Structure 1
Amino acid sequence: MAKDAAKTGKTETLTIRLDPKTRFILEYMSRLKGQTITTVVERAIVAAAAQETVVDREYGGQLSWDSFWDVSEGVRALNLASRSEFFPTYEEERRIEFARTHWPFFFATKSKNVPLNHYIDILWPRIDEYIQIHEDNKAQGGDWFGAGKAMQEALRKSNLKAPDWPHKETVKQESPKDQEKPSSSSYSRDLDDDIPF
């Protein structure tokens, strides 16, 4: 068994309580199919999960478990936390919001639907630390971009080219005069834009 685990990668142990009837059914299925009890359970879980779907809000149709699966733990966490159907916890919502705010470190495009596995694999183990840096700086009036700079440093230490930060679209330089008085274009539109003829 240890040899199989070494071949396939990491495995986890799950302990469950079964009544004698359910245990017998597992043994029956195991003998009938010539499989271990673990294999019977794994395949039953996959078969049951394949029948449970959620609506694809972006393209229509249905998504199943394999639409959210990824070998990267961080990508899996982001995939699930971004969907209300999975009832994300407050901590998960904090992480997805941080990732969206700092999207160049987590996603390939501004639409935030293509994860950057090579960055996420480096950053995810310390995600809560980066969130804390960001929140501390916000609360204390520190460097607003400090968490991004810390993530840049982590990526560089891993010999990866870090994204520009702050991202050009994240910071819009405006003079104090522009901030006090919105331009007319910010609250009115030319009616000619809406007329189709």
Structure 2
Amino acid sequence: MTTERKRKRPQKSESLTIRLDPKMRFALEFVARLRGQTITKVIERAVLEAADRSYIEDDNHNIEANWLSYWDVNDGIRAINLALDQRTHPSFEEEEMLDFVKTHWNFFAVSPDLSCLRRQNIEVLWPAMPKLIELWRETKTSDRCAVRQVMEQLLEGAGLHKDSWGMQPTSKEKRSHPDLDDEIPF
């Protein structure tokens, strides 16, 4: 078996444990039986129907968004999308993550407003976010470059080179690699 096949594949679904009283359990089984569905399918459809009917409205009660406005297959993009909108009531942890992303926006987005996210960078950095945020807490007053260096290593390790990150090199990096045209006398 190859190494790739031995690696754990991401789950396509997750399990959820809920407590139901006997009456609710019977009602759920009854609906599943009548529809010829599994209990899981009945619950999934009920949740999707409720989500489709749940909207975020502006001050004039105009519909602005529903769950699909925030959904993305990438959990990092989903988390950023939700945390950006205060109307979704982000938790402290989500707000802290968003503050980290905004502070290091050039790793995660094209511009500081986070309107266009860098998918390939997020795919690489997101699994390490808990450790990155912890390192940021520990070093932001003593070594503000520590987290940046770790993120650069993660991106380089994934085969993403600085020119594909969409970030401009620092002035120090520019000086260490002079433009060859500068050395040509004509």
TM class, shorter-chain normalised? 0.7 to 0.9
Equivalent position to 1:15, from 17, 34, 37:
17
**Which residue in the other structure is 1:69 paired with?**
71
| Cα contact 2:58–2:64 (8 A) shared by 1 | yes
**Which residue in the other structure is 1:146 paired with?**
146
Task: Give the 3 Å change call, closer, same or farther, for CA 132–160 of structure 1 in structure 2.
Answer: same
**Which residue in the other structure is 2:182 paired with?**
none
TM-superposed CA distance for 1:9, in Å, is 4.6
Percent of residue pairs bearing the same amino acid type: 38
TM-superposed CA distance for 1:126, in Å, is 1.3
CA distance in 2, matches of 1:167, 1:53: 43
1:139 is paired with a residue whose SS is: coil
Task: Give the 3 Å change call, closer, same or farther, for CA 27–135 of structure 1 in structure 2.
Answer: closer
TM-superposed CA distance for 1:29, in Å, is 1.5
Task: Give the 3 Å change call, closer, same or farther, for CA 166–127 of structure 1 in structure 2.
Answer: farther
CA distance in 2, matches of 1:66, 1:13: 22
TM-score (norm 2): 0.73
TM-superposed CA distance for 1:136, in Å, is 3.2
Amino acid at match of 1:126: A
1:62 is paired with a residue whose SS is: strand
**Which residue in the other structure is 2:101 paired with?**
99
Q: What per-residue deviation string (whole Å, max 9, x for no partner) do you get for residues 121-176 of structure 1?
A: 21111113223333433322x2x2331222111011000123336778xxxxxxxx
Aligned length, in residue pairs: 157
User: What is the RMSD of the two structures over their aligned residues, measured on CA atoms?
Assistant: 2.5
Alignment of 1:8-157 (within 5 A): 9-55=11-57, 61-140=63-142, 142=143, 144-157=144-157
CA distance in 2, matches of 1:33, 1:166: 60
CA distance in 1, matches of 2:141, 2:147: 13
**Long gaps (5+) in structure 2:** 1-9, 172-186
TM-superposed CA distance for 1:20, in Å, is 2.2
CA distance in 2, matches of 1:55, 1:166: 42
